[in-house]
Amino acid sequence: MKVCDGVYSYVWKGYFVNNANMFYFGEPLNILFDPGLKNYLDMRFEEMKKDGLNPKDIKYCVNTHCHPDHFEGSLDFAAKNIPLGMHEEEIAFYNKLGPQFFQMFGMTFPKLEFSLVMKEGVWNVAGTDLEIYHTPGHSPGSICIYWKEKKTLVCGDVVFEQSVGRVDFPGGDGNKLIESIKRISKLEIEHLLPGHMNIISGEKAVKKNFEMIENYYFSMM
């Protein structure tokens, strides 16, 4: 689904369809975020084609974090020699605790290499500046990606519609998640693209969502 010019959303439709949202920044960036579970990639590619996109144009696969429901599909892109990106702290976490984490979900750990080591700051892609925010809490190296020109934030499992990411998984930290949410809530966001549930469009709706989370969830973490 087209969110705005150059931004596309392929949202979670149920546990037996795909358990995470996937997003895509189109030409000339051609970046796919959080490919999800590998068994559902072909279905996602068909959805992209319906939007007039060609999955063969994907140049980068960037993961907001390494949890299997977001990440496992990266295997497909690694096999095609498409660069994989993840934050440096998440890569360290993945290499250290990844096998244990995947085993928790009854899945085989995919040993992958990351040619895009993401860090806090500006990532220039095809002349477009994307802002990378290190937003730990749900996982140690979670990132959010902000396209300022489009007022669009890909936020992984940091924050959702009327909810926040879990902090009871290995590497989770409630205090860090609160600080991460406070940081991104200060951005001008027209389109909030979370890892699960619905996207939120409209600056007032996004602001209201952050206010609700601060009032309700911060006292619980």
**Per-residue model confidence (pLDDT) at position 165:** 95
Q: Which of 175, 112, 176, 108 is nearest to 142 (CA)?
A: 176
Report the C-alpha gap between 41 and 22 in whole angstroms: 10
**Separation of alpha carbons 118 and 120, rounded Å:** 7
User: Is the entire prediction scored with pTM above 0.85?
Assistant: yes
pLDDT class for 39, splitting at 50, 70, 90? confident
Mean pLDDT score, 130-142: 98
Q: Domains along the chain?
A: 2-220 (3.60.15.10)
100 — pLDDT class (breaks 50, 70, 90): confident
Mean pLDDT value of segment 156-168: 95
Average pLDDT, the chain: 94
Residue, of 145 and 105, whose pLDDT is higher: 145
**Across residues 172-179, what is the average pLDDT?**
96
Task: Tell which wins on pLDDT, 101 or 93.
Answer: 93
Rounded average pLDDT over 138-155: 98
104 pLDDT tier (thresholds 50, 70, 90): confident
Q: Each residue of 189-201: pLDDT tens digit?
A: 999 999 999 999 9
